[in-house]
Amino acid sequence: NAGVTQTPKFQVLKTGQSMTLQCAQDMNHEYMSWYRQDPGMGLRLIHYSVGAGITDQGEVPNGYNVSRSTTEDFPLRLLSAAPSQTSVYFCASREDRNTEAFFGQGTRLTVV
């Protein structure tokens, strides 16, 4: 059971480039979400999904897009990378609204 898998684990981008952070879970969880972790600020919610075809914005959605075409996958797209998006990104999933969240191992993204 792989749990929540994020790829890549590390990435360096140039300002203005676009890329997609991948997140996949094999637990048939309905709920998935993306967080970013910055020093001194904890984890902040970017986007979330409560099921295939349904997404919504979190606290810090600007500069990011998501889609949820399948239950398993929840990719996060950076449209035009900026140095302010340098962060560690976590994907999480949970079965339903009353259960615990499982986290991926994170992606460290550096934008230069």
Partner 1 sequence: AQTVTQSQPEMSVQEAETVTLSCTYDTSESDYYLFWYKQPPSRQMILVIRQEAYKQQNATENRFSVNFQKAAKSFSLKISDSQLGDAAMYFCAYRSETGANNLFFGTGTRLTVIP
- For partner 1, which stretch binds (CB under 8 A), given 18-26, 44-52, 63-71, 75-83? 44-52
27, 43, 52, 82: residue in contact with partner 1 (rule CB under 8 A): 43
The least CB distance from residue 3 to partner 1, in Å, is 10
Residue 100 in contact with partner 1, rule: CB under 8 A: yes
Is 85 within 8 Å of 111 (Cβ atoms)?
A: yes
CA angle in degrees (0–180, nearest 5) for 49-54-56: 60
Distance CA 110, CA 112 (A): 6
Residues 6 or more apart whose Cβ sits within 8 Å of residue 99 = none
The reply on whether position 27 binds partner 1 by CB under 8 A is: no
Report 50-89 residues binding partner 1 (CB under 8 A): 50, 56, 58-59, 88
Residue 53: CB minimum distance to partner 1, A: 16
Contact call for residue 93 and partner 1 (CB under 8 A): no
Q: What CA–CA distance (Å, rounded) separates 23 from 4? A: 7
Give least dist CB 19 to partner 1, A. Answer: 19
| Binds partner 1 by CB under 8 A, chosen from 19, 27, 45, 82 | 45
62 vs 50: CA distance, rounded Å: 20
